[in-house]
Amino acid sequence: MAARYGNALVLITEDPDSKWDILARRARKFGWWNATGQLGTMVFVRLGKLALQSRIRRYIAQQRLEVELPRSCDVVKVPSVNSEAFVRAVSDLQPDLIFLAGCRVMTKATLSRMPCPVVNYHAGVTPKYRGMNGGYWALASGEPDQFGSTIHIVDEGIDTGPILEQTRCLPEPGDSIITYPYTLAAASRAACVKVVEGMLAGHIDALPGVGQSRQWYHPPIWQYLWTGLSARAW
């Protein structure tokens, strides 16, 4: 995207959620037992990224992925996509399009203050695999044909907006919940550029999601291990 739009592109980054905040929210929704199990999987993924650093670097180089902030565009840092700092930054920039990727869910209040269309890249096929780890859950559910990503218009729900593009691909040999995001990102680059170009030109159609709709979360660590052993979905 940076190579295509250069200094016309401005990146806004947000501070990550603390693990404690995530744990507390999940505990309110699922109870402390399941929330702690989900935290265990998050820790496993973090440690796995450290252990697989060399493999991940090779894959990034092979796919020519850009994982560092590009020098060709300005970068604005805000606490959250739902902060006043983000709203002010957008107001100052007056963009033609906002493209979200890997950030917090934009609240209804924030969305209502956006001066332009907002789209989101989601690493899962919606509406069936909304939320977290869409690629993993498709494989764990025995649906490898649903391993893919979605670019959609942001509405008031979580990954529920009208669909602009979907990409399906196959996991790479040795892939796991640790590396699926890289595989999906690599396969989705052309779709991301296509959506941005189409939205800016005003000639891209959005289709409503049809079929079963479900929001997914991190699997508790014991469920992750059991699914890996029984279904060979890691």
pLDDT tens digits, one per residue of 222-232: 999 999 999 99
Three-state DSSP class for residue 76: strand
Domain ranges of the chain: 19-60+96-231
Q: Which of 1, 82, 159 is nearest to 90 (CA)?
A: 82
Reported as a pLDDT band with limits 50, 70 and 90, residue 6 is: low
For 167, counting Cβ atoms within 10 Å of its Cβ (0-12 exposed, 13-18 middle, 19+ buried), the class is middle
Q: Is pLDDT of 66 > 90? A: no
Q: What is the mean pLDDT of residues 175-191?
A: 94
Q: What share of the chain in percent tops pLDDT 90?
A: 74
Q: Compute the mean pLDDT over every residue in the chain, rounded to the nearest whole number.
A: 92
Give the residue-averaged pLDDT of 27-35. Answer: 92
For residue 183, what pLDDT is reported? 94
pLDDT at position 4: 60
Task: Identify the DSSP state of 179.
Answer: T
Contact between 128 and 150 (Cβ < 8 Å): no
Q: Give the tens place of pLDDT for each residue, 135-172.
A: 999 999 999 999 999 999 999 999 999 999 999 999 98
Q: What is the pTM of this model?
A: 0.90
* 202 or 72, which is more confident: 202
- Mean pLDDT calculated for residue range 178-192: 94
Question: Which CATH number among 3.40.50.12230, 3.30.1280.10, 3.40.50.1820, 3.30.70.2470 corresponds to the domain 19-60+96-231?
Answer: 3.40.50.12230
Residue 55 pLDDT grade (very low, low, confident, very high; cuts 50, 70, 90): confident
The answer on pLDDT for 1 being more than 70 is no
Structural tokens at position 115: 């001066």
Kindly provide the residue ranges of all beta strands, DSSP E only, lying in the chain, ordered along the sequence.
10-14, 74-78, 98-101, 118-122, 130-131, 148-153, 163-168, 215-216
pLDDT at 93: 94
Residue 84: strand, helix, or coil: helix
Identify the bridge partners of residue 152 per DSSP, sorted by sequence position: 120, 163
Contact assessment for residue 38 and residue 106, using Cβ atoms and an 8 Å cutoff: no
Q: Could you give the CA distance from residue 170 to residue 214 in angstroms, rounded to a whole number? A: 22
| Residue 12: pLDDT over 60 | yes
